[in-house]
Structure 1
Amino acid sequence: MTKSEILFDNVKPGTVCPLKKGDWIALELPDEAGSPLYHCRVANPDLFPSIEIGPLIGQPVSKELSTTPKWSTAFIDQYSVEFDELSEAEKRGAVYRLLALLPSVKEMNAYLAKQNTPDLARWVDRISPAAFAVLRWTLASNRSCIMAVDEPEKAVHGMPAYMQFRFAMGAPDKEHRFKTAVKKTANRLDSKYPTLYAWHGSSIQNWHSIIREGLHFSDVVNGRAFGNGVYHAPNAATSMGYSGMGPYGYGNNSVSFIWPNSDLQISSAIALNEIVNAPAEYVSSTPHYVVAQLDWIQTRYLFVKCKPADAGAEQPIPAFDKPPTSKLEQDPARVPIGAANTPIIIPNLSPKPEKGKRKLANTVSPGPKKTKRAKKQNWFMGKIAPTRKVVDLTGDDDNGDVDETRFEDSDLSDASSTVTDDEDREIFMEPQSQQLAVRTGPSPIEFVPGSLDHDKLSKLPKPSYANPMATRRLLQDLNVLLAVQEHTPLRELGWYIDPEKIGNMYQWIVELHSFDMFNEGDEELPLVTDMKKHNVKSIVLELRFPGSYPINPPFIRVIRPRFLPFANGGGGHVTAGGAICHALLTSDGWLPTNTIESVLLQIRMAMASIDPAPARLQLRGTYAEGDQNSYGSGEAVDAYRRACKMHGWTIPVDFDQTVAEQ
C-alpha cells in the first residue's frame, strides 16, 4: 500500500483531532474477511477529519485491500494505556502481541544494513515504541552468547535435522567455578576423563528463562522420581521427549509458542552439557544423571528443531554429513547417543600448539581471539548485558564514601555479571587433557599493578551527592569486578582497579593495559608502538557515576596520556578533550542492565580498533613529566557535550551535577 488514510465520519466543525503525528493506533476492519486487526503509525493528522497513516502492520494484508482503492469501515483504538496499569494476564497478552508485531530478524538486519546510522529506533513506521521497548528488553536481559555453527569442523556429528549453536551461559566466573570443580574432582578421583557429556531437554517455552537464569531445579516441571537436581540423559531420544518432539510426548509442542515472524520457526530445543565426571556422586546416575551441584554443569551446545523450508527455498539447517577431523576424546563408557541413534562425535575446538611454542595445559586461558581488526572486531559481547539483581549490601547508609569494604567470592553471582569475550574464548576451550599455545615471555609494555600514583592524577573533585540505591548497586558492581580481577590473569583481563584506592563509590580510577594482546602476529598496533616508545604502561580512566546510577550512565574520560585528536588523524573513540565518545555512555544508548565490565571491554576494544583510524598518542616531552600529558577535567566535560551535540545524542539529565566542579 503506497498511501492509506482514515476518514472520521460525522465530525462536527471545530472538532480537534484526537491523534497527533507519531501516535500508534490499532485498526479492526469488521467488513473484511476474518475482521483483521492491524496496527499503524499516524503519519499526518493535519487534514483532519482525514488523516494519513503509515503501512499496516499485522497479519498479511489481503490482496484486495492492498490493491483496490476503496473505503472500509474501521474501529480505532489508540495506544494510550501504561503497561504498569495492566493486570498480569493483560501484560502477558500485550507482550505476546507486541512480539508478533516485530519484523523478522532478517528484515531488521536488512534495514540496519541500509542505514548510515544503524538504529532500529529510527524505523518509526514499522516498529512502535512499545514493540521496540520489548525488543530492547529481550536483548538486554539475555545473559548468554549463542553462536550458530556453520562449519562442519565445529559441528557435533550425529544430530541430523537439528540446527546447532555453540552456547555460553552465565557469568565469567561460572566457567571458572566449573573448571575449578573439574580440576578438584579429577585430582581427588584420579580421573582419566575429567568430564562427560549428556543431554538436557525442556519444553520450548522454558528456554526463555533457562537462557536468562541458567539451569537450576527451583521449580518442579516433570516430576522428580530420581531426586532433586538437574536431569540429564545419555540418549538424545529421552531429552527429545521432554523437549516436546520425542516419541514420549512429555513436552508441549503447541504452535502458540512459536514466534510468528521467526525465520526458523523453532519447535523444540535440547542442550548438550559438559558435566564433572563423577556419577557416583550424582543424586542418581541411572537411568538419568541427576546432578545437584550446579557448578558441575556447563552448557556447550544448543540444538533446535526448525520448520522444514518450502521446496526451492534456502534450507536453514546446514548439512553436516561428515564428522569433524579433530575429535574430542570422550569417556568411552559414557559417550552420548545422538538423534541418529549413534554415538555422537564432538569436535575438538582447542587450538593446536604453534611450532616452537611451549605447551601448557588449558588451565591457562588463551590470548585474545585473532581477527582482522579493521572489519571484524567483535562488538557483540559487550552489547548484550544481563539484568542485575540488586542486593542490599550496605544497609541504610547513604554515604558514598567507603572506609572499609569486604570483597568475597560469594558476592560474585550469576545474576550480577555478563558474558564477555574473555569468557567466550575460555568457555569453548575443551577439557584439560588438551594442549594449547599461549603467549610466553614478558610484554614489552608489561603492566605493573599498584604502581600508579593516584595523588598526581588530575581528577574531578570528590562528589558530594549519594543515594542508597546507587551506592548499593555500585558496591555490588565493584565486588563483581574485583572478584573477576582476582580470578583472571591481568594480561588477559586488560583492565585493573586498585581496591585500596577506592575512596568514594561514585569515583573510580581504572587502568586499561596490555594492548599488545591485540597485535596481529608481527603487525603491531600503532597504539602499542606509541606506548612502547614513551614507556606508557596503561591508559588511565576516571569513571564518574551519577546519583541516579544505574538509571543513567557514568561519565568516563581519559586522564592520561593524551591521544591524537580525530581531526588530526587519530582514533580510539577518544575526544579532543579526553572524554570517551560512545553512544553507550549517553541517555540514548545506555541501559540500566549494562555492566561496567562490558563497558570497559567496549572501551578497550574501541581503543584497539583501527577503523576508521587507529588510536595514537600525542605526548609532549617525556611521559613522566605528568600534567602536560594529562587531560583537564573541564576540557573533557566540554568535549563530551560537543560530541553529543554533533551526533544528536541525549545528555543525561543529571550530567551537570555529576561533573560539577563545586
Structure 2
Amino acid sequence: MVCHQRVEDGFEALKPYVCSSPLCNYQFLNLGMGASIEHEIVSNPYVVDILISFFAIALVVPKSLRKFPTGLNIKSIFTGNKTREAVRIAAEVCFFEKTIRLVPDVNKADINIKVGDRLMIVLNTANTLPVPAILDGKYERHICKVTKVEYELYTFEVITTFTAPIKVPRSAQEEKPTQLSEPKKAWMKVMLLRHDCEIDYLDEANRAVALAMILQEIPSVLEMRSFLLKNPGQRLASWSRLDKPALTLLQWIISSNRSLILQNDAVPRLQQGGQIVADPNPNRVEGLPPQWMQFRFLQGTPERERIFTGEIATLSKSEGDAAKFPTIFAWHGSALHNWHSIIRTGLDFNRVINGRSFGDGVYMSNNFQVSLGYCRKGANSKMTSQPPVSYWPNSVLRPSSAISICEVINRCDQFVKTTPHYVVNQIEWIQCRYLFVCVEPNAEALQEPFPTKPREPCAGYVAQHPPRKLLAGPNKEVKIPLSAILSNRRLLGHKADDGELNDSELRRLMNQFLETDSESADSDHGETDNELLLDSEDDDSVGVRSNKRRSSSIDSADPRRPKLSSAEHSKKMPKENAAVTFETDFVPGSLDLDSLPRLPEPRWASTSPMAVRTLNRAIKELHDIQSREDLASLGWYINFDKLDNVFHWTVEMHSFDPELPLAKDMKERGCTSIVLEFRFGSNFPYSPPFVRVIRPRFLPFMRGGGGHVTAGGAICSEMLTNSGWSAVMTIEKVLLQIRLGLTEMDPPARLGSMGGVSNTRDYAIGEAIEAYQRAAMAHGWQIPKDLKKIGSSWAPEQKKEK
C-alpha cells in the first residue's frame, strides 16, 4: 500500500491518510486502514455532523474543494460530452406500485437493467434538455434502486427525492408534495437516467452535483448512532437504510479528516424566554456567545508540536514580555465553505480568498468581531423559531459559521503585520487549539446534548499578554483554560507572577517535555484521540486500549466494549466492575490433540510472506498475554508447544461463569472446554480466518440454541466475513468477541442433546463451511473469496474427517 509518492499539499497530518492516487484512496477506504466510521459516529456524532456539513457547503461554492475524492468506485449519471451524448430512457412508472416499465419502442436488450442498479426517475421534462440542467434543475427527480426484475416490469425503492436545484439549500418547510408522497395507481411517462459512469470521469461542476446528491442520502448522525447502539457488533454496511455510494462517501469524509476534533461542550439549548444557554464545562473557553459550540481542535504532528515548544523555550530565555508570555492567542475566521479544506490541509496562504492588502501570510486578529467579518453571513444570527436552511438537510446542528482560536509564537516584531491584523507567514509558529461552530440545533440534537463528563474544577486560565489579550468584544476578555496547554509545557513562559526560569530549569523542563512526548508518540497502541488532544491531568480522558483502531460499534461508555486485555475485560463485565474469579476444572494441556484434525502446511505457505509474518507476530502477542494473565480469567487457551502450523490453530474456550446455562451443560457432560479450530488463508490479514467449533455439539438455533454457533459448527459473526473484517483486527479481539457471543443470553448457548449419535460426533469441516455460507447469505454478508480454498486445500485431512 506504500506508493512512495509525496503528499501534494505537504501537510503533515496528525491522523493517518494517503496521497490523492485513486488506487491509494481505494485501498485506504476498502482495506480497513481508514478510520472506523462506526466508532466515530458513536463516540463523536456531532464532529461527524460538522464534517459532513463542511463538505456539503464546499460542494456548492465553486473552487472551494482543493481536491475531490477519487478512487471511490462510485457510479453517477453520465452527463454527456463532445464525443458522446448522455443516454435517456423513455419509460412509464406507477408510484403506487413502485414499478417501472419501458415504452414499446425501447430496445430492452440494449438497456439491460438489473437488480441493484441505480436509476433517476425524472418527471415533466423535455427530452432535449441537457442532462446537467436536469440534475440541478427544478424538476421532480427520484433516485431509486431496482429491487426486482420480472418479465418487463422493474420494481424499485426510492432512496431520495429532489424537487429543487441541488445547489439551493432547503429546509423541511420547503418540501413540496410529490408523486411519491401522493402516489396514484395511474402510469406516468418519465425519463430514466442510469448511474453507469465513474464519478472520477465527470468535470468538476458535474462531479460536485453528483456528490451533493449522494450526500443527501446520508441519514442524520443521531439516526446512524441509534442503529449502531441498538445493533452492537454490526456495521453500517449491514443497514439497508444506507446505500453503498452514500456509505463510501461517508467513509471518505471521516477518513480524510486529518485533524483531531473533539466536542468540548454540550449542544447549546434554548431556555424559556428565548435565551440561548449551554451546559457549562469547567474547562470551556469563557466569553463567547453560547450559540458557538466548542470543539477541541489540533493539527499537525507531534514533531510540529515539538518545534512549536522549542520556539517557546527559546523565547523563555529572552528578555522582556516575550519571556513571560511566549505565545499569544488569536482568532482565525473563514467562510464556512473553506473549513473542509482547512481541517485537511491546515492553515496556509497558498490561495488568495479575501485579498492580501497587508502582505502574504495567515490573517488573524485578537478581536472576535474582526475575524467574524471573514466568516460571512449567518455568524451573527440568533436562534429563532424558523429553522435555517442547510446544504445537508439531515444535519442536526445546522452550522452557519466557524472560527478557530490559534496559539501563536509571540514574535510580533517578526510578523508581516500586527495592525489592523496579525499577518504571520511562518506556519510553524501557529497551532490551532479550538474550533467554534455557530449552530442552530434541531429538537433531536437538543434532546441529546452529550454534555462532557464531570471533570475537576478548572485549574485556572492562561495568563495572556496584556496588550494582546484575546477579546470577544469591546473590553470583553476571552479566558482560555489551562487545559488548552500541555501540562509539561505550562512552566515554559506565562509566568507573569513567578519570574523567569534559569537555564538549568529550562533545559530540565524542555528535556522532560521532549521525552514524554516521544514516549507518547511511540506508544500509540494505548492512546485514544482524547488522550492525544486533551490534557493528561484529566483522569477521565485517559484510557487503555489494546488495539490501534477501535472497530467495535459499541459506545465507549458501554461496559461491553473491550478496552483492556481479555483477562482484564472479563473481570470488568459483572456489575459495579467488581473483579471476580471463577472456580475452574480446566487443566491446560489435557486435550488429546491427536483426536483432532492435524493439518500439514497449506500449499500457499511458501508464497504468502505477509500472512506468515502477521501470524507469527500474532502468535508471539498471544503467547505473551497467556503467560502473564490468570488463565481462568483469560478464558481461552492455546497449547503453543504443540502449535506446529501457523495457518492452523486449535483454541480452547473454558472457565465460563458457572451460572451460565452453557457452563451447567458442560459440567453435566464432564466437558471442560469448547474446542475451536482457526484456519487462515493466503490473503490473511486482508481476509478473515475461518473459525468453527470442533466439539462439543451445540443446540441449533432453530431449536432454541444461541451462542452464535451455526448448525454446522461455524461461528456466525459478521466480524468473520469480508463485510465486518478489518486488516488491523487482532486475534485477541476475535477470541474476545467469540467468547462474548458464547456468553450471550438471548438466547443462551446450550449443548446439544445426548440422545442421538449425530449429537456426539465432532463437527466436520464440510458442514461447517456450508452452514457459514448459509448464514452469511441470509444476513447479506460478503463471503471471503478464499473460503473454498481454506476448506479444501488440506486434502489428506479431508479424507480423514470423512
TM category, shorter: 0.5 to 0.7
Say whether 1:198 aligns with 2:259.
Answer: no
8 Å CA contact 2:123–2:141 kept in 1: the answer is: yes
Q: Distance in 2 between matches of 1:196 and 1:95?
A: 40
Match of 2:157 among 36, 48, 54: 54
Say whether 1:259 aligns with 2:320.
Answer: no
Say whether 1:145 aligns with 2:206.
Answer: no
Q: 1:242 to 1:494 in 2, by over 3 A?
A: same
8 Å CA contact 2:99–2:155 kept in 1: the answer is: yes
What amino acid is the match of 2:419?
A: T
Match of 1:347 among 474, 481, 502: 481
> What residue number does 1:45 align with?
149
Match of 1:189 among 315, 318, 328: 318
SS at match of 2:261: strand
> What residue number does 1:164 align with?
293
Q: 1:83 to 1:225 in 2, by over 3 A?
A: same
Q: Distance in 2 between matches of 1:83 and 1:303?
A: 33
> What residue number does 1:100 align with?
216
Alpha-carbon distance, 1:209 to partner: 1.3
8 Å CA contact 2:719–2:725 kept in 1: the answer is: yes
SS at match of 2:407: strand
Calculate percent identity across the aligned residue pairs.
Answer: 26
> What residue number does 1:24 align with?
118
- Compare CA radii of gyration and give the structure with the larger one: 2
8 Å CA contact 2:349–2:360 kept in 1: the answer is: yes
SS at match of 1:226: coil
Q: Distance in 2 between matches of 1:608 and 1:184?
A: 48
8 Å CA contact 2:566–2:732 kept in 1: the answer is: no
1:189-237 C-alpha deviation (Å, 9 max, x unpaired): 3733343321111121111111112222232322333343322210111
What amino acid is the match of 2:480?
A: I
> What residue number does 1:85 align with?
201
Say whether 1:303 aligns with 2:429.
Answer: no
SS at match of 1:425: helix
Alpha-carbon distance, 1:152 to partner: 0.9
Aligned 1:477-496 pairs, distance under 5 A: none
Q: 1:204 to 1:6 in 2, by over 3 A?
A: same
1:36-77 C-alpha deviation (Å, 9 max, x unpaired): 1110111211252x3221135123572664234233322111
> What residue number does 1:379 align with?
none
8 Å CA contact 1:58–1:101 kept in 2: the answer is: no
8 Å CA contact 1:172–1:420 kept in 2: the answer is: no
Gaps of 5+ in 2: 1-94, 127-136, 163-174, 267-278, 382-387, 491-517, 549-563, 582-587, 589-604, 627-633, 637-651, 658-674, 681-687, 690-716, 744-767, 795-802
Q: 1:318 to 1:584 in 2, by over 3 A?
A: closer
> What residue number does 1:128 align with?
243
Q: Distance in 1 between matches of 2:212 and 2:609?
A: 31
> What residue number does 2:618 align with?
557
Alpha-carbon distance, 1:256 to partner: 9.8
SS at match of 1:223: coil
Q: 1:136 to 1:31 in 2, by over 3 A?
A: same
Match of 2:235 among 113, 119, 133: 119
Aligned 1:129-528 pairs, distance under 5 A: 129-148=244-263, 149-150=265-266, 151-153=279-281, 154-170=283-299, 172-173=301-302, 176-177=305-306, 180-181=309-310, 183-189=312-318, 191-245=323-377, 258-307=391-440, 314=446, 326=458, 327-333=460-466, 334-338=468-472, 342-349=476-483, 362-363=488-489, 421-422=527-528, 424-429=530-535
Q: Distance in 2 between matches of 1:80 and 1:585?
A: 32
Q: Distance in 2 between matches of 1:65 and 1:640?
A: 44
Alpha-carbon distance, 1:271 to partner: 0.7
8 Å CA contact 1:200–1:271 kept in 2: the answer is: yes
Q: Distance in 2 between matches of 1:603 and 1:182?
A: 43
Alpha-carbon distance, 1:273 to partner: 1.6
User: RMSD between aligned alpha carbons?
Assistant: 6.0
SS at match of 1:212: helix
SS at match of 1:557: helix
Alpha-carbon distance, 1:128 to partner: 3.4
1:620-660 C-alpha deviation (Å, 9 max, x unpaired): xxxxxxxxxxxxxxxxxxx99999997786576689999x9
1:475-533 C-alpha deviation (Å, 9 max, x unpaired): xxxxxxxxxxxxxxxx999899xxxxxxxxxxxxxxx999999999x979889xxxxxx
Aligned 1:604-619 pairs, distance under 5 A: none
Q: Distance in 2 between matches of 1:12 and 1:513?
A: 63
8 Å CA contact 1:237–1:339 kept in 2: the answer is: yes
Q: Distance in 2 between matches of 1:188 and 1:640?
A: 70
Alpha-carbon distance, 1:557 to partner: 2.7
Alpha-carbon distance, 1:27 to partner: 0.6
SS at match of 1:55: strand
> What TM-score, normalized to structure 2?
0.47
SS at match of 1:338: strand
Q: Distance in 1 between matches of 2:330 and 2:676?
A: 54
Q: Distance in 2 between matches of 1:68 and 1:331?
A: 64
Q: Distance in 1 between matches of 2:176 and 2:225?
A: 23
1:337-356 C-alpha deviation (Å, 9 max, x unpaired): 126872112334489xxxxx
Q: 1:651 to 1:145 in 2, by over 3 A?
A: farther
Q: Distance in 1 between matches of 2:739 and 2:415?
A: 50
Q: 1:291 to 1:248 in 2, by over 3 A?
A: farther
8 Å CA contact 2:293–2:439 kept in 1: the answer is: no
SS at match of 2:197: coil
Alpha-carbon distance, 1:336 to partner: 1.0
Match of 1:7 among 101, 111, 122: 101
Q: Distance in 1 between matches of 2:735 and 2:308?
A: 30
What amino acid is the match of 2:469?
A: V
